[in-house]
Amino acid sequence: MEEKRDLRKIFDQHIELTDFFTGFTVKPAKSVSASQPQENQADKAELLAEVARQVKECQKCVLGGTRTNSVPGEGSPDARLVFVGEGPGENEDLQGRPFVGRAGQLLDKIIAAMGLKRGDVYICNIVKCRPPENREPRPDEIISCLPFLKSQLSIIRPEVIVALGAPAAKTLLNTNKPIGQLRGKFHDFYFDENAEPVKLMPTYHPAYLLRNYSDDNRRKVWEDMQAVIAELGLEVPK
């Protein structure tokens, strides 16, 4: 009975969120991919494919033994904007693609509300294999997996990174501050010690938003995304 009520609540929240996000004016998608010479694009795609091959073979931590599929990430090799989540869930593990479950559907709506298409951006996670029972990834798992994410970010060289949720934000910024304190402003992210920093915006994870549906949380995420759109020099949908 309790479970039935919860499912009903989740379903109702989902419908409300659907209404909310489709309530935004969704502008025709414009390109958020950097214009690059064709051979450069091909190089990046090839390099990302090589990272994906290595991810598929990886057995560096226990998650390699429990996954159905690894989930390297997907999107434009020339993306100016990269979203980084926590780790694959059940649907992602089954399909080998990031953010394809309920949280992913909400992320798609957020991306559309920003006036973009999923294929314009790159979407990946700090760990590439599903932690059992959707638990948070453990520090040793994150440490084993981080080189893959760093390689992906160094290949793509986005102008802005959005860290979805506390594990992604804390890992990329090497901090223990709560997500509530980190979100709402840009932080510097360094690809390596010689590179200029790029902007990183932490925000709430779509799964958190689904669980904690409130005007306040919804407004905060949208404000974070508006700052990202402005930073990219794109028109903020009204």
Summarize as ranges the residues that interact with ligand URA (CB under 6 A).
85-89, 92, 98-99, 101, 103-104, 125, 207
Cβ proximity to ligand URA: between 200 and 234 the closer is: 200
User: CA–CA distance from 236 to each of 30, 206, 222, 226 (Å)?
Assistant: 12, 20, 11, 6
Q: Which is nearer to ligand URA, 86 or 120 (CB)?
A: 86
* Least separation in angstroms between CB 36 and ligand URA: 26
**Cβ at position 225, least distance to ligand URA in Å:** 17
Q: What are phi and psi of 189, to 5 degrees?
A: -120, 130
Shortest approach of ligand URA to residue 118 CB, angstroms?
A: 13
Taking CB positions, which residue lies at the least distance from ligand URA? 85
CB of 165 to ligand URA, least distance (A): 6
Q: How would DSSP label each residue in 80-149?
A: SEEEEES---HHHHHHT-SS-SHHHHHHHHHHHHTT--GGGSEEEESSSSPPGGGPPPPHHHHHHHHHHH
Q: In the complex, what is the shortest distance from the CB of residue 121 to ligand URA, in angstroms, rounded to a whole number?
A: 14
Q: Which is nearer to ligand URA, 137 or 158 (CB)?
A: 137
Q: Smallest distance from the beta carbon of 233 to ligand URA, in angstroms?
A: 28
Q: Which is nearer to ligand URA, 163 or 234 (CB)?
A: 163
Distance CA 72, CA 153 (A): 12
Token reading at 162: 């959005």
From CA 199, how far away is CA 233, in angstroms rounded? 13
Nearer Cβ to ligand URA, position 113 or 127?
A: 127
Interatomic CA distance for residues 35 and 111, integer angstroms: 20
| Residue appearing with tokens 């992604």 | 168
Distance, CA of 169 to CA of 165 (rounded, Å): 6
CA gap 237, 115 in Å, rounded? 7
**Residue closer to ligand URA (CB basis): 88 or 158:** 88
